[in-house]
């Protein structure tokens, strides 16, 4: 039977090739695609709002009489029309207008208009509102309907898209949309059928509950929201299924290497580290590729757990790849692992993008013939010329920049090209539970929910920039006592070049102001070797003060550093600040973090810095960050499409996450439904959150 999916939009009246091409940019090819191009909000044009009750930012219909209309000759010529009703007045401002409009809007004319309230010189204003002179009577409120507002692309205007959607709705009677949700599911949650929901959302009938629709809470909207969240969940489960369709080598540990490793560690594993490693140990001994995400707050000791996992693979005679997102972090892991594993007779290979020539050839050879048991590096680890002899475990540190797509690609890299490697993913920042359940549905999760003993809390101080002098003195005092400090420069500009420049200027200034201190500088534009050299000098205590851009955000571990100054913290996300702050508080001594903001601070900015000052719980901070900035920012995937929904809004709709997570595995048994839902909501080219 013909379905709406098979009917191209060009069947609609008024859609020629030119328009069809523009629609493709919105992912719309069939009539069904068009029907699933859903309004992301509504305008309430059903009621006339009294002018006296308007607030800035309101989008509203008002009606009144023109008191006066003046030509204003200021910097930009404009037509200024003052409108009055019984409760107040409002100015309509037009920068573009013709003589006919000017005549229409003359004193005494009755005008109804629709616009957004802005502050003006003498009161509230509408710029270029839609308006009607001598309007017909308004329908009674229960006869009026909300106006849908659609996401647009260049060259298609709102009314055009609105009309197309209305036309498409006409097809629904003859070609109902297939409902892929099982009936009992709909009944359980009292959700309407799909065609009904789609119709209502595009064309809310007169009298439909306005407040529910405006808030995205109408059952029709919620039905679509839940289906969308379900489709995303299913697509992740499908990835998991695809990866686990391959077998993996079960890694059965002898325990000898791990015993030696634990013996030489200067500390005991925490209970949480043991629990999490136990999860990993179990996974690795299965003939199914492990897909596990390890979360833990800053400093919870994820690296040691990774090393334990690596040793299990190595003692089973296989190879490990450990990948980090930046050179600095990869280098640090390399140093750590070398000091831990070389004494045990394990050979390592170092493969960053900057390793070139003979050194690279030697590393490649050691990886290829199996003499190196573990290769450590950046993304360069997975270039085509890197061939492993017996790769059985891939460890990825800092999940954020690693997408589902890459996880899929890793399948091909395992032993003999037929067995998939086990995958262990470690995140830099804690991820709120609901978000993890939704964005990482393809992974099992373990949480290291305990910090090593003896950690002193970090005292966080929020100061305005004009206290810079005092702050510099603080650095002097800390270093005089043999401590070390970080000074982190951030800029609002995206440009890395500008950030680096700012760091250079600051380093110079601080070196002049603090002549008795050895001041170092790291930023993203230094060569890898220079950066590593600088980090080493800081680590060895040769440098007292390290000025840096946010490149030091992740992972850098120097226990003697006990003071960190962060400039312009109001410009960073909370999770990122928490990460930066986590560079201190790693040793025995009391540590401090100074957030040096640029006044004035907005209400919101104040609340955020306060949250950071008052809490050191990464999961709590991550929740706050999620509320304030949304999932795309928190996951660092805003540009990649991961967690970008048409209708669902993470905060508003997170109540669905748990039910959807429960339903999804049940549906997975029916591939036809799964594929159809994924195609409906994620389209042909599924956006897997690629780097």
- Give percent helix, percent strand, percent coil of the chain, each to the nearest 5: 45, 20, 40
Nearer to ligand ADP, 12 or 305 (CB): 305
Residue 304 binds: one of Mg ion, ligand ADP, none (C-beta under 5 to 8 A by kind): ligand ADP
Residue 345 binds: one of Mg ion, ligand ADP, none (C-beta under 5 to 8 A by kind): none
Minimum CB separation of residue 268 from ligand ADP in Å reads: 6
Minimum CB separation of residue 548 from ligand ADP in Å reads: 17
Residues in the chain: 691
Minimum CB separation of residue 510 from ligand ADP in Å reads: 26
Nearer to Mg ion, 115 or 555 (CB): 555
Q: Which residue in 122, 132, 145 sits closest to 63, CA to CA? A: 132
Nearer to ligand ADP, 4 or 329 (CB): 329
Nearer to ligand ADP, 337 or 688 (CB): 337
Nearer to Mg ion, 296 or 403 (CB): 296
Minimum CB separation of residue 456 from Mg ion in Å reads: 19
Residue 298 binds: one of ligand ADP, Mg ion, none (C-beta under 5 to 8 A by kind): ligand ADP
Q: 349 CB contacts (<8 Å, ≥6 apart)?
A: 363, 366, 367, 372, 374, 375, 376
Residue nearest to Mg ion (CB): 555
Nearer to ligand ADP, 82 or 270 (CB): 270
Which tokens belong to 461? Answer: 């101080």
Q: How far is CA 319 from CA 54, 386, 557, 661, in A?
A: 67, 13, 26, 34
Q: Which residue in 13, 21, 14, 34 sits closest to 172, CA to CA? A: 34
Calpha distance 302→92 (Å, rounded): 60
Minimum CB separation of residue 673 from Mg ion in Å reads: 40
Minimum CB separation of residue 635 from ligand ADP in Å reads: 18
* Helices (H), ranges, 301-443: 302-315, 327-341, 357-368, 404-410, 433-439
Stretch that binds Mg ion, among 379-387, 548-556, 621-629, 671-679 (CB under 5 A): 548-556
Residues 389, 315 contacting (CB under 8 angstroms) = no
Minimum CB separation of residue 94 from ligand ADP in Å reads: 58
> Which listed residue (148, 421, 555, 618) binds Mg ion by CB under 5 A?
555
- How many Cβ atoms sit within 10 Å of the Cβ of residue 121? 10
Calpha distance 577→580 (Å, rounded): 5
Residue 452 binds: one of ligand ADP, Mg ion, none (C-beta under 5 to 8 A by kind): ligand ADP
- Determine the angle formed by the axes of helices 219-244 and 657-667, rounding to 10 degrees: 50
Residue 377 binds: one of ligand ADP, Mg ion, none (C-beta under 5 to 8 A by kind): none
Stretch that binds Mg ion, among 41-49, 104-112, 205-213, 554-562 (CB under 5 A): 554-562
Residue 222 binds: one of Mg ion, ligand ADP, none (C-beta under 5 to 8 A by kind): none
Site residues for ligand ADP per CB under 6 A: 267-270, 273, 296, 298-304, 452, 555, 557, 559, 586
Nearer to Mg ion, 474 or 586 (CB): 586
Residues 543, 514 contacting (CB under 8 angstroms) = no
Nearer to ligand ADP, 50 or 452 (CB): 452
Residue 267 binds: one of Mg ion, ligand ADP, none (C-beta under 5 to 8 A by kind): ligand ADP
DSSP-assigned letter for residue 53? G
Q: How far is CA 362 from CA 85, 186, 331, in A?
A: 83, 61, 18
Q: 3-class DSSP state for residue 586?
A: coil
Partners of 283 in the beta sheet?
Answer: none
Partners of 124 in the beta sheet?
Answer: 119
Nearer to ligand ADP, 180 or 277 (CB): 277
Residue 520 binds: one of ligand ADP, Mg ion, none (C-beta under 5 to 8 A by kind): none
Q: 3-class DSSP state for residue 583?
A: coil
Nearer to ligand ADP, 216 or 618 (CB): 618
Residue 255 binds: one of ligand ADP, Mg ion, none (C-beta under 5 to 8 A by kind): none
Q: How far is CA 262 from CA 271, 301, 312, 658, in A?
A: 14, 14, 13, 39
Residue 149 binds: one of Mg ion, ligand ADP, none (C-beta under 5 to 8 A by kind): none
Nearer to ligand ADP, 235 or 303 (CB): 303
Give the burial class of 438: count Cβ atoms within 10 A of its Cβ; 0-12 exposed, 13-18 middle, 19 or more buried: buried
Calpha distance 303→324 (Å, rounded): 11
Minimum CB separation of residue 298 from ligand ADP in Å reads: 5
- How many Cβ atoms sit within 10 Å of the Cβ of residue 509? 14
Sign of CA dihedral 380, 539, 573, 433: positive
Residue 290 binds: one of ligand ADP, Mg ion, none (C-beta under 5 to 8 A by kind): none
Nearer to Mg ion, 555 or 632 (CB): 555
Stretch that binds Mg ion, among 147-155, 341-349, 555-563, 582-590 (CB under 5 A): 555-563
Q: Which residue in 555, 520, 515, 559 sits closest to 538, CA to CA? A: 520
Q: 95 CB contacts (<8 Å, ≥6 apart)?
A: 76, 77, 78, 127, 128
**CA end-to-end span of the chain, whole Å?**
40
Residue 317 binds: one of Mg ion, ligand ADP, none (C-beta under 5 to 8 A by kind): none
Nearer to Mg ion, 60 or 554 (CB): 554
- How many Cβ atoms sit within 10 Å of the Cβ of residue 633? 16
Residue 299 binds: one of ligand ADP, Mg ion, none (C-beta under 5 to 8 A by kind): ligand ADP
Calpha distance 198→201 (Å, rounded): 5
Stretch that binds Mg ion, among 22-30, 33-41, 199-207, 547-555 (CB under 5 A): 547-555
Residue 399 binds: one of ligand ADP, Mg ion, none (C-beta under 5 to 8 A by kind): none
When asked if residue 325 is in the footprint of Mg ion (CB under 5 A), the reply is no
DSSP-assigned letter for residue 68? E
Minimum CB separation of residue 44 from Mg ion in Å reads: 49
Stretch that binds Mg ion, among 204-212, 503-511, 550-558, 562-570 (CB under 5 A): 550-558
CA 396-402-404 angle, to 5 degrees, is: 110
Minimum CB separation of residue 428 from Mg ion in Å reads: 6
Minimum CB separation of residue 542 from ligand ADP in Å reads: 19
Residue nearest to ligand ADP (CB): 301
Nearer to ligand ADP, 393 or 447 (CB): 447
Residue 484 binds: one of Mg ion, ligand ADP, none (C-beta under 5 to 8 A by kind): none
Q: 3-class DSSP state for residue 41?
A: strand
Which tokens belong to 488? Answer: 């982190």
Minimum CB separation of residue 253 from ligand ADP in Å reads: 20
| Contacting residues toward Mg ion, per CB under 5 A | 555
């Amino acid at each position: 039977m013909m379905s709406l999916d098979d009917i191209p939009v060009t069947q609609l009246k008024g859609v020629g090739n030119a328009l069809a091409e523009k629609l493709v940019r919105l992912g719309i090819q069939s009539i069904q695609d068009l029907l699933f191009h859903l309004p992301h909000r509504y305008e309430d044009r059903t009621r006339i709002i009294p002018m006296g009750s308007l607030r800035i930012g309101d989008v509203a219909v008002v009606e009144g009489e023109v008191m006066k209309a003046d030509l204003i000759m200021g910097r930009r010529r404009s037509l200024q029309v003052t409108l009055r009703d019984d409760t107040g007045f409002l100015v309509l401002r037009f920068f573009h207008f013709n003589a006919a409009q000017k005549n229409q809007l003359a004193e005494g004319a009755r005008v109804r208009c629709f616009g957004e309230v802005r502050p003006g010189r003498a009161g509230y204003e509408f710029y270029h509102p839609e308006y009607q002179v001598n309007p017909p009577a308004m329908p009674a409120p229960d006869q009026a309907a909300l106006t849908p507002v659609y996401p647009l692309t260049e060259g298609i205007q709102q009314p055009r898209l609105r009309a197309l959607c209305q036309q498409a709705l006409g097809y629904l009677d003859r070609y109902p949309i297939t409902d892929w949700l099982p009936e009992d599911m709909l009944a359980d949650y009292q959700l309407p059928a799909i065609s009904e929901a789609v119709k209502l959302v595009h064309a809310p009938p007169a009298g439909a509950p306005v407040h529910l629709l405006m808030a995205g809470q109408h059952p029709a909207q919620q039905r679509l929201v839940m289906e969308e969240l379900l489709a995303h969940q299913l697509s992740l489960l499908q990835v998991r299924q695809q990866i686990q369709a391959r077998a993996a080598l079960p890694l059965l540990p002898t325990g000898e290497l791990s015993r030696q490793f634990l013996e030489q560690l200067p500390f005991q594993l925490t209970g949480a580290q043991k629990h999490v490693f136990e999860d990993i140990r179990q996974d690795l001994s299965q003939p199914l590729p492990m897909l596990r995400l390890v979360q833990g707050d800053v400093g919870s000791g994820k690296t040691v757990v990774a090393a334990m996992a690596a040793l299990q693979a190595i003692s089973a005679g296989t190879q490990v790849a450990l990948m980090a997102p930046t050179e600095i972090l990869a280098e640090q892991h390399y140093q750590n692992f070398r000091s831990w594993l070389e004494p045990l007779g394990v050979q390592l290979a170092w493969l960053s993008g900057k390793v070139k020539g003979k050194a690279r050839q030697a590393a490649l050879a050691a990886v290829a013939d199996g003499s190196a048991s573990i290769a450590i590096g950046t993304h360069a680890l997975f270039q085509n010329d890197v061939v492993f002899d017996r790769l059985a475990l891939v460890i990825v540190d800092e999940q954020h920049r690693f997408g589902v797509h890459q996880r899929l690609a890793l399948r091909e890299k395992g032993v003999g090209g037929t067995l998939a490697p086990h995958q262990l993913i470690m995140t830099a920042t804690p991820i709120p539970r609901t978000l993890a359940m939704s964005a990482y549905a393809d992974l099992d999760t373990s949480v290291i929910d305990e910090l090593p003993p003896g950690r002193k809390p970090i005292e966080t101080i929020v100061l305005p920039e004009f206290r810079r002098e005092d702050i510099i003195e603080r650095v002097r005092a800390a270093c005089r006592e043999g401590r070390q400090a970080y000074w982190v420069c951030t800029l609002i500009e995206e440009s890395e070049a500008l950030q680096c420049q700012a760091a250079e200027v600051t380093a110079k200034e601080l070196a002049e102001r603090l002549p008795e201190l050895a001041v170092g500088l790291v930023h993203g534009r230094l060569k890898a070797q220079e950066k590593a050299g600088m980090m080493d000098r800081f680590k060895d205590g040769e440098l007292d003060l390290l000025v840096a851009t946010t490149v030091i955000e992740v992972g850098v571990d120097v226990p003697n550093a006990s003071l960190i100054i962060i400039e312009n913290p109001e410009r960073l996300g909370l999770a990122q600040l928490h990460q930066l702050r986590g560079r201190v508080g790693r040793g025995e001594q009391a540590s401090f973090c100074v957030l040096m903001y640029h006044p004035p601070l907005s209400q919101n900015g104040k609340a955020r810095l306060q949250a950071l000052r008052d809490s050191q719980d990464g999961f709590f901070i991550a929740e706050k960050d999620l509320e304030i900035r949304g999932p795309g920012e928190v996951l660092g995937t805003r540009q990649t499409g991961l967690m970008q929904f048409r209708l669902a809004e993470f905060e508003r709709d997170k109540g669905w996450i748990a039910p959807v997570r429960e339903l999804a595995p049940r549906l997975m048994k029916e591939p036809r439904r799964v594929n159809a839902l994924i195609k409906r909501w994620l389209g042909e080219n599924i956006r897997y959150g690629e780097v």
